[in-house]
Amino acid sequence: MNTKLEDVKSEAGIIGQSEVINSAIERAVKIAATNSNVLIMGEVGTEKQQFAKFIHLLSKRASNRFLDSSRDIHHKFSTEVGLFGHEKGVVKGSMSYRRPGLFEKANTGSVFLESISHLSSATIQQIKKVMIDGSIQRIGGDMAEKVDTRVFLDIELDNRGKPVLPNLKKQFANMNVTEIVIPPLRERLEDIPLFCGKRLSPEAYERLCNRDWPGNVKQLRESLHRSIFLLGEDTIYEEDLILPPLDHFQDLYSALPEPEDGFDLPKFINKVKKQLIIRAIFKAGFNLSEAARMLGVSEKPVRKFWKELGRN
């Protein structure tokens, strides 16, 4: 891969060198040379937004805005208002001005629409109009206006590679759209060390590869962030990994190792204790009192543990 592509890949936040991820990148490069709207398909957590941004940055629209519906719509507005905007006085608290929507803000640029499955049929039809002829109509408006906005649609797949909502994909299938499929983590396990930023011991790598990652790359990133956050060494060992619980363990005791020659019970208990405290601290948003409450212990041992890690 040439230097420019590597730079754009890094700017978009794409990590990976596996054959399947490189194939997806090659597909994305071809799509970037067109001006078609794109169905970005993949399982939850495969980071489809990064590929949308990658395509945008390689396209003729690169100098213009790239907006993401999950981040660039203000929480106090409905999705419809966020997408299409509203006329003066239509939305409570906005009597004195007209508000542009995401499609207008990204005019001559691109928009990534994440998780559109919850939208009404009427809103889906409005999105289709944007994709067909660039027409938008603000909430409360009487006249349609034109925008030139490239649309990237998030189409979620299940673990069989089938659309979770087949009818949603079918609604856009006969339009001017191009498709790209982002591979799940289980098909690119050799990329796992690249997400660490540190060296993985063979045992740690094996443990990560043997996990079921229903949340794919996003879940891996979150787990590694927890593991690395409190780690001072350059190498991540198996005991450093702080991973989410395995859903298929109905009985917690079935997850325990079998005692055998060389088993060190105090060391194992200390490792479990460390992981549980760190998980509680993260879950409590670094509120040590709340973490202690979750664990059912006094605050003193949690604060002692935190201090031993060199945290204030």
Check residues 306 and 41 and name the one with the higher pLDDT.
41
Domains and CATH numbers, the chain: 3-183 (3.40.50.300), 187-308 (no CATH)
Neighbouring residues of 133: CB distance < 8 A, sequence distance ≥ 6: 146
Query: Which residues face 99 on adjacent strands?
Result: 86
* CA angle, 35 then 154 then 166, to 5°: 110
What does the pLDDT read at residue 249? 40
Cα–Cα dist 286/273, whole Å: 17
Among the listed residues 224, 218, 230, the one whose alpha carbon sits nearest the alpha carbon of residue 197: 224
Cα–Cα dist 173/196, whole Å: 38
Residue identified by tokens 């054959």 is 19
Check residues 279 and 135 and name the one with the higher pLDDT.
135
Q: Residue 283's Cα: distance from chain center in Å?
A: 19
Examine the pLDDT at 256 and tell me if it is beyond 70.
no
φ, ψ of residue 120 to 5 degrees: the values are -70, 160
Check residues 215 and 280 and name the one with the higher pLDDT.
215
Average pLDDT on 15-25 reads 96
Q: What are the tens digits of pLDDT across the range 221-230?
A: 988 887 776 6
Cα–Cα dist 265/302, whole Å: 21
**Residue 240: what residue type?**
D
Distance set, CA 146 to CA 129, 132, 165 (Å): 10, 11, 30
Neighbouring residues of 158: CB distance < 8 A, sequence distance ≥ 6: 43, 164
CB-CB contact of 54 with 22 (8 Å): no
Average pLDDT on 165-181 reads 86
**Residue 194: what residue type?**
L
